Amino acid sequence: MTTFFSWFGQLLQYLRTLAAIGMLCLLLAWSLPAQAASRIDPQLEQQVLQIIREHPEAIIESVQVFQQQQQQKLNQVRQGFLQDLKTNPQTVIGESPTTGSTNSKTLLLEFSDFECPYCAEAHKTLKQLLAKYPDKLKVVYKNLPLTSIHSQALPAAAAAWAAYQQGKFWEYHDALFTNQKKLGEALYLDIGKNLNLDLAKFKRDQNLAAPAITKDVQLAQKLAVAGTPFFVISSPSISRVVELSDIENILADAK
Protein backbone atom coordinates (compact mmCIF):
# COMPACT_ATOMS: atom_id res chain seq x y z
CA MET A 1 0.00 0.00 0.00
CA THR A 2 2.83 2.37 0.81
CA THR A 3 4.39 1.64 -2.58
CA PHE A 4 1.13 2.39 -4.34
CA PHE A 5 0.68 5.77 -2.68
CA SER A 6 4.28 6.62 -3.40
CA TRP A 7 3.80 5.97 -7.09
CA PHE A 8 0.36 7.56 -7.08
CA GLY A 9 1.91 10.77 -5.83
CA GLN A 10 4.17 10.73 -8.89
CA LEU A 11 1.16 9.96 -11.06
CA LEU A 12 -0.68 13.08 -9.98
CA GLN A 13 2.45 15.09 -10.63
CA TYR A 14 2.72 13.95 -14.25
CA LEU A 15 -0.90 13.48 -15.35
CA ARG A 16 -0.79 16.79 -17.24
CA THR A 17 1.74 15.33 -19.65
CA LEU A 18 -0.38 12.39 -20.79
CA ALA A 19 -3.16 14.10 -22.76
CA ALA A 20 -2.37 12.05 -25.86
CA ILE A 21 -3.19 8.80 -24.10
CA GLY A 22 -6.73 7.70 -24.84
CA MET A 23 -7.56 6.49 -21.36
CA LEU A 24 -6.81 9.99 -20.02
CA CYS A 25 -9.18 11.90 -22.28
CA LEU A 26 -11.02 13.14 -19.22
CA LEU A 27 -7.83 14.87 -18.12
CA LEU A 28 -7.28 16.93 -21.26
CA ALA A 29 -7.96 20.09 -19.28
CA TRP A 30 -4.81 19.35 -17.30
CA SER A 31 -2.60 18.64 -20.27
CA LEU A 32 0.74 20.31 -20.95
CA PRO A 33 2.15 21.27 -24.37
CA ALA A 34 3.53 18.47 -26.52
CA GLN A 35 7.08 19.71 -25.98
CA ALA A 36 6.74 19.09 -22.25
CA ALA A 37 5.31 15.62 -22.80
CA SER A 38 8.27 14.68 -25.01
CA ARG A 39 10.68 15.32 -22.12
CA ILE A 40 9.07 12.75 -19.79
CA ASP A 41 11.31 9.85 -18.83
CA PRO A 42 10.02 6.80 -20.80
CA GLN A 43 10.57 4.52 -17.81
CA LEU A 44 8.57 6.80 -15.54
CA GLU A 45 5.84 7.01 -18.17
CA GLN A 46 5.56 3.22 -18.26
CA GLN A 47 5.39 3.09 -14.47
CA VAL A 48 2.63 5.68 -14.47
CA LEU A 49 0.70 3.78 -17.14
CA GLN A 50 1.00 0.59 -15.12
CA ILE A 51 -0.48 2.32 -12.09
CA ILE A 52 -3.34 3.62 -14.24
CA ARG A 53 -4.07 0.10 -15.52
CA GLU A 54 -4.03 -1.37 -12.04
CA HIS A 55 -5.94 1.44 -10.31
CA PRO A 56 -8.32 3.14 -12.79
CA GLU A 57 -10.64 4.03 -9.92
CA ALA A 58 -7.95 6.36 -8.58
CA ILE A 59 -7.98 8.31 -11.85
CA ILE A 60 -11.75 8.62 -11.79
CA GLU A 61 -11.68 9.76 -8.19
CA SER A 62 -8.99 12.35 -8.86
CA VAL A 63 -10.98 13.72 -11.80
CA GLN A 64 -14.11 13.94 -9.68
CA VAL A 65 -12.25 15.75 -6.91
CA PHE A 66 -10.76 18.17 -9.45
CA GLN A 67 -14.18 18.84 -10.99
CA GLN A 68 -15.71 19.48 -7.57
CA GLN A 69 -12.93 21.91 -6.70
CA GLN A 70 -13.37 23.75 -9.99
CA GLN A 71 -17.13 23.95 -9.49
CA GLN A 72 -16.66 25.34 -5.99
CA LYS A 73 -14.31 28.01 -7.33
CA LEU A 74 -16.78 28.88 -10.08
CA ASN A 75 -19.64 29.12 -7.59
CA GLN A 76 -17.60 31.53 -5.48
CA VAL A 77 -16.77 33.68 -8.51
CA ARG A 78 -20.41 33.75 -9.62
CA GLN A 79 -21.66 34.60 -6.14
CA GLY A 80 -19.20 37.47 -5.93
CA PHE A 81 -20.33 38.70 -9.33
CA LEU A 82 -24.01 38.51 -8.38
CA GLN A 83 -23.30 40.43 -5.20
CA ASP A 84 -21.52 43.14 -7.18
CA LEU A 85 -24.39 43.29 -9.65
CA LYS A 86 -26.86 43.77 -6.81
CA THR A 87 -24.97 46.20 -4.59
CA ASN A 88 -22.85 48.12 -7.10
CA PRO A 89 -24.27 47.46 -10.58
CA GLN A 90 -22.35 50.22 -12.30
CA THR A 91 -19.08 48.36 -11.75
CA VAL A 92 -20.54 45.51 -13.81
CA ILE A 93 -22.28 47.68 -16.38
CA GLY A 94 -19.17 49.76 -17.02
CA GLU A 95 -19.42 51.38 -20.44
CA SER A 96 -21.74 48.74 -21.89
CA PRO A 97 -24.88 49.83 -23.77
CA THR A 98 -28.10 49.92 -21.73
CA THR A 99 -31.75 50.36 -22.61
CA GLY A 100 -35.03 50.49 -20.74
CA SER A 101 -35.90 52.36 -17.59
CA THR A 102 -33.08 54.27 -15.94
CA ASN A 103 -35.00 54.05 -12.65
CA SER A 104 -35.75 50.34 -12.82
CA LYS A 105 -34.85 48.21 -9.83
CA THR A 106 -34.59 45.16 -12.09
CA LEU A 107 -31.43 44.83 -14.16
CA LEU A 108 -31.04 42.21 -16.88
CA LEU A 109 -27.53 41.45 -18.11
CA GLU A 110 -27.45 39.77 -21.51
CA PHE A 111 -24.49 38.03 -23.16
CA SER A 112 -25.27 37.80 -26.86
CA ASP A 113 -23.90 37.05 -30.32
CA PHE A 114 -25.25 38.88 -33.38
CA GLU A 115 -24.96 35.75 -35.54
CA CYS A 116 -26.61 33.41 -33.02
CA PRO A 117 -30.14 32.42 -34.16
CA TYR A 118 -31.23 31.86 -30.56
CA CYS A 119 -30.10 35.40 -29.73
CA ALA A 120 -32.21 36.71 -32.61
CA GLU A 121 -35.25 34.99 -31.13
CA ALA A 122 -34.40 36.27 -27.66
CA HIS A 123 -34.10 39.76 -29.14
CA LYS A 124 -37.75 39.65 -30.24
CA THR A 125 -38.86 38.55 -26.78
CA LEU A 126 -36.83 41.24 -25.03
CA LYS A 127 -38.29 43.91 -27.30
CA GLN A 128 -41.76 42.77 -26.28
CA LEU A 129 -40.86 42.76 -22.59
CA LEU A 130 -39.35 46.24 -22.77
CA ALA A 131 -42.54 47.49 -24.41
CA LYS A 132 -44.79 45.72 -21.91
CA TYR A 133 -42.80 46.68 -18.79
CA PRO A 134 -41.22 50.04 -19.72
CA ASP A 135 -40.79 51.10 -16.09
CA LYS A 136 -39.66 47.76 -14.69
CA LEU A 137 -36.66 46.67 -16.73
CA LYS A 138 -33.20 47.87 -17.65
CA VAL A 139 -31.17 45.73 -20.08
CA VAL A 140 -27.38 45.70 -20.33
CA TYR A 141 -25.77 44.28 -23.46
CA LYS A 142 -22.51 42.31 -23.25
CA ASN A 143 -20.77 40.85 -26.29
CA LEU A 144 -19.99 37.16 -26.50
CA PRO A 145 -19.17 36.45 -30.17
CA LEU A 146 -18.87 32.70 -30.66
CA THR A 147 -16.13 33.03 -33.24
CA SER A 148 -15.47 29.30 -33.58
CA ILE A 149 -18.88 28.78 -35.19
CA HIS A 150 -19.94 32.27 -36.29
CA SER A 151 -17.55 33.97 -38.69
CA GLN A 152 -19.43 37.29 -38.66
CA ALA A 153 -20.06 37.46 -34.91
CA LEU A 154 -16.96 39.51 -34.15
CA PRO A 155 -17.18 41.89 -37.15
CA ALA A 156 -20.86 42.49 -36.32
CA ALA A 157 -20.00 43.22 -32.69
CA ALA A 158 -17.30 45.67 -33.82
CA ALA A 159 -19.76 47.41 -36.15
CA ALA A 160 -22.34 47.73 -33.36
CA TRP A 161 -19.67 49.16 -31.04
CA ALA A 162 -18.72 51.68 -33.72
CA ALA A 163 -22.37 52.73 -33.97
CA TYR A 164 -22.44 53.02 -30.17
CA GLN A 165 -19.73 55.67 -30.39
CA GLN A 166 -22.26 57.79 -32.29
CA GLY A 167 -25.15 57.08 -29.93
CA LYS A 168 -26.89 54.56 -32.21
CA PHE A 169 -26.09 51.20 -30.63
CA TRP A 170 -29.62 49.96 -30.07
CA GLU A 171 -30.86 51.02 -33.50
CA TYR A 172 -27.86 49.28 -35.04
CA HIS A 173 -28.32 46.27 -32.74
CA ASP A 174 -31.94 45.89 -33.88
CA ALA A 175 -30.99 46.17 -37.54
CA LEU A 176 -28.31 43.48 -37.21
CA PHE A 177 -30.74 40.99 -35.72
CA THR A 178 -33.44 41.87 -38.26
CA ASN A 179 -30.95 41.24 -41.09
CA GLN A 180 -29.04 38.42 -39.45
CA LYS A 181 -28.89 36.31 -42.62
CA LYS A 182 -27.15 39.15 -44.48
CA LEU A 183 -24.32 39.83 -42.02
CA GLY A 184 -21.23 41.19 -43.76
CA GLU A 185 -19.38 44.43 -44.42
CA ALA A 186 -21.87 45.58 -47.05
CA LEU A 187 -24.71 45.30 -44.55
CA TYR A 188 -22.71 47.05 -41.82
CA LEU A 189 -22.16 50.05 -44.08
CA ASP A 190 -25.76 50.05 -45.32
CA ILE A 191 -27.09 50.15 -41.76
CA GLY A 192 -24.66 52.94 -40.97
CA LYS A 193 -25.93 54.93 -43.95
CA ASN A 194 -29.56 54.34 -42.98
CA LEU A 195 -28.82 55.60 -39.47
CA ASN A 196 -27.03 58.66 -40.84
CA LEU A 197 -23.76 57.75 -39.17
CA ASP A 198 -20.51 59.51 -39.96
CA LEU A 199 -19.15 56.65 -42.06
CA ALA A 200 -15.53 57.75 -41.90
CA LYS A 201 -15.66 57.74 -38.11
CA PHE A 202 -17.67 54.51 -38.16
CA LYS A 203 -14.96 52.72 -40.16
CA ARG A 204 -12.24 54.00 -37.84
CA ASP A 205 -14.14 52.93 -34.76
CA GLN A 206 -14.71 49.44 -36.14
CA ASN A 207 -10.96 48.96 -35.82
CA LEU A 208 -10.95 50.24 -32.24
CA ALA A 209 -13.66 47.94 -30.86
CA ALA A 210 -11.48 44.99 -29.84
CA PRO A 211 -10.64 46.06 -26.24
CA ALA A 212 -14.29 46.62 -25.30
CA ILE A 213 -15.40 43.33 -26.85
CA THR A 214 -12.50 41.46 -25.25
CA LYS A 215 -13.47 42.83 -21.85
CA ASP A 216 -16.98 41.41 -22.26
CA VAL A 217 -15.63 38.05 -23.41
CA GLN A 218 -13.25 37.87 -20.45
CA LEU A 219 -16.15 38.48 -18.07
CA ALA A 220 -18.09 35.68 -19.77
CA GLN A 221 -15.11 33.35 -19.45
CA LYS A 222 -14.72 34.24 -15.78
CA LEU A 223 -18.35 33.26 -15.22
CA ALA A 224 -17.95 30.12 -17.40
CA VAL A 225 -20.61 31.27 -19.85
CA ALA A 226 -20.46 28.67 -22.60
CA GLY A 227 -23.25 29.74 -24.95
CA THR A 228 -25.60 32.48 -26.00
CA PRO A 229 -27.94 34.02 -25.16
CA PHE A 230 -27.09 34.03 -21.45
CA PHE A 231 -29.00 36.12 -18.92
CA VAL A 232 -28.35 37.28 -15.38
CA ILE A 233 -31.06 39.18 -13.53
CA SER A 234 -30.75 41.33 -10.44
CA SER A 235 -33.51 42.96 -8.40
CA PRO A 236 -34.13 43.74 -4.72
CA SER A 237 -35.48 40.22 -4.23
CA ILE A 238 -33.29 38.05 -6.49
CA SER A 239 -29.92 37.95 -8.18
CA ARG A 240 -29.23 34.90 -10.34
CA VAL A 241 -28.77 33.35 -13.74
CA VAL A 242 -32.17 33.18 -15.39
CA GLU A 243 -33.85 31.57 -18.38
CA LEU A 244 -35.50 33.87 -20.89
CA SER A 245 -38.83 32.14 -20.27
CA ASP A 246 -38.72 33.12 -16.58
CA ILE A 247 -38.09 36.83 -17.06
CA GLU A 248 -41.70 37.89 -17.64
CA ASN A 249 -42.89 36.16 -14.48
CA ILE A 250 -40.21 37.97 -12.51
CA LEU A 251 -41.23 41.31 -14.02
CA ALA A 252 -44.92 40.64 -13.44
CA ASP A 253 -44.23 40.00 -9.76
CA ALA A 254 -41.91 43.00 -9.38
CA LYS A 255 -43.31 46.01 -7.53
Sorted by where each begins, the domain ranges of the chain are 2-72, 88-253
Calculate the average pLDDT of the chain: 85
SS3 at position 231: strand
Taking the C-alpha atoms of residue 54 and residue 251, their distance in angstroms, rounded to an integer, is 57
Q: Give the lowest-confidence range in 50-59, 160-169, 227-236.
A: 50-59
pLDDT reading at 176 higher than 80:
yes
Per DSSP, 3 falls in state: H
What is the end-to-end Cα distance of the chain in Å, rounded?
64
Confidence of residue 33 (pLDDT cuts 50, 70, 90): low
> Would you say residue 37 has pLDDT above 70?
no
Report the b/e string of 55-94 with b at 16+ CB within 10 A.
Answer: eeebbeebbeebeeeeeeeeeeebeebbeebeeeeeebbe
Dihedral sign from CA coordinates of 229, 234, 239, 243: negative
**How many CB atoms sit inside 10 A of residue 5's CB?**
9
Residue 247 has pLDDT above 50, yes or no: yes
User: In the chain, pLDDT over 70 holds for what percent of residues?
Assistant: 84
In terms of DSSP bridges, do strands 138-143 and 230-234 run parallel, antiparallel, or are they unpaired?
A: unpaired
Asked if pLDDT for residue 28 goes beyond 80, the answer is: no
**Number of other CB atoms surrounding residue 12 within 10 Å:** 14
Local structure of residue 22 (DSSP, 8 states): G
The confidence score (pLDDT) of residue 159 equals 99
Residue 31's pLDDT band (boundaries 50, 70, 90)?
A: very low
Mean pLDDT of 229-237: 92
The pLDDT value recorded for residue 18 is 44
pLDDT of residue 142: 98
For 224-253, what is the mean pLDDT?
92
pLDDT at 254: 75
Query: Is domain 88-253 annotated with CATH 3.40.30.10?
Result: yes
Residue 46: Cβ within 10 Å count: 10
Answer whether 150's CB lies under 8 Å from 115's CB. yes
Alpha-carbon span 181 to 139, nearest angstrom: 25
Full-model pTM? 0.74
Tell me what pLDDT residue 156 has: 99
Vertex 22: Cα angle to 147 and 146 (nearest 5): 10
Confidence band of 39 (pLDDT split at 50, 70, 90): low
Predicted pLDDT of residue 66: 77
